[in-house]
Every structure is written in structure tokens, then in C-alpha cells.
Amino acid sequence: QRIECFDISNTHGTDAVGSMVVFTEGSPEIAGYRKFSIRSVDGIDDFAMMAEMLRRRIRDGDKLGPLPDLIVLDGGRSHLNAVRKGLENEQGWDMDIVALAKERKDPQSKAQSDQTHAKRPERVFLPDVKDPVPLKSGQPTTHLLTWLRDEAHRFAITFHRGKRIRRTIRSRLDGIQGVGPKRRAAVLQAFGSLDQLTNIPAAEISERAKIPLSVAERVEEYLAKVNPDGET
């Protein structure tokens, strides 16, 4: 009846976020989608991040919608084991949980193309079952599970990208005299990213972000001195 799929997105452990997408009776329930900023995990540890997200989802209970009949994780055996271990002491959950991943490529083989990767079969990992279950291409079950996984992946990446952009703008603009949290937020809302600010004259920055021209001139001057990586 209700399936929830979870995914993690981060850049080398930074700006780590998670996504939860909901399908009801086989169709997306977009109003039920949720985002998570990872709080307790430092560094690169997707397994711990996934476990944290699921613990928070279970603890929040009906605040995030009814608990699902099935949980799908974007990942393999290690993700499944980490989440199950992380939920050992949680009360009130007894739903089924599986993980979905493509078959691994042979590490001894040459690099495979994206097209070859796309053709590798999907596999479902079940709790306490040694071998994963391969999914047949073109089957309704395969279509539903991969649709779920792709939605969770898209939602996580979109949230992660936005969070990274906001952090970059904060770190790049915080040192400019006259730019505090409110003006920084105004610049972010007006332009979306620092890339959109490149070569924009101060007068336009001032007008669109509703900040004083003198402050906009300092923003323009600062951005003219840095390269795309933020280095002077």
C-alpha cells in the first residue's frame, strides 16, 4: 500500500543529506516527500548516514505520514545491515525492509561505459538471505522499484546541490563588509548561486537583491578578485 525509498547524497562527507520519497498504491505521493540534513555523522560514512535517517523517520512516526508497509534503501547489503542494526532498539517498527542496487562490475575488467552500466541487472537484498534476488528487465516489479530508487536519488541530489550552493555563497560572502545574514539571504534569493553573480554590475545586484549600492559594489569588487574555486 505505502512504500518509502531512502537515499543519501554528499560530497566527500560534506553537506550530507538524505531523501525520503513515498509511493502509495504504486504512484508517487509528492506531498509526502521529505528531506533530511544529516546531523550526527562526520566524514564519509554513507551507512551511518542512512541509519541516522531511518532512525529519525521511525521516531517521528505519523509526523512524516503513516509508517510504510515496505522500506526500500538505495544501496546494497552493507546499507541494509547498517540500517537494521541502527533500528534494533527502536520501538514500533515492524515493516519489511530491502535494499536495491545494480550488480557490481568485475573489478578486473576494463572500465565499462554508462550504457553497459545501465544494462547491469538490478538486485534486491533481503534481510538474512545470503544471495540477492535479480530482477528481470521489463517486469512491473522492476519498473516500480527502479522508479522509486531513481526518484529518491533525484530528490537527494537536488537537495544536496541546493545546500552546497547556499554554503558556498555564505562562505564566499561572509567576509564582505556590510553583508550579513539578511543581505546574504537576499542575494541568494535573487541570484540562486555565485555563478549567476559573475560579471553582474553592482547596480543590477543592488536592484535585484534590494541591498545598498555601496554594498553591491563591494560584492562586485570581491567577486572580480576570485576564481571559480573561490581562491583569490
Angle at 61 between CA 57 and CA 64, to 5 degrees: 70
DSSP code of residue 195: G
Single pTM value for the model:
0.67
Contact 160, 17 (CB under 8 A): yes
Q: Is residue 137 within 8 Å of residue 121, measured between CB atoms?
A: yes
List of residues 6+ apart from 183 with CB closer than 8 A? 209, 211, 215
Cα–chain-centroid distance for residue 232?
Answer: 30
Q: 140-173 vs 213-225: helix axis angle to the nearest 10?
A: 110
H or E segment at 166?
Answer: helix 140-173
Q: If DSSP codes are grouped into helix, strand and coil, which group holds residue 104? A: coil
What the block records as the C-alpha cell of 224 is: 572580480
- Band of the pLDDT at 18, cuts 50, 70, 90? confident
Write out pLDDT tens, residues 32-85.
Answer: 998 888 887 877 788 888 899 899 898 888 888 889 999 999 989 999 999 998
* pLDDT at residue number 229: 46
CA angle 192, 197, 203 (to 5 degrees): 115
CA distance 102 to 146: 10
| pLDDT band at 108; cut points 50, 70, 90 | low
pLDDT reading at 28 higher than 70: yes
The alpha carbon of 227 is separated from its chain's Cα centroid by a whole number of angstroms, namely 27
pLDDT in tens, 151-160: 998 888 887 6
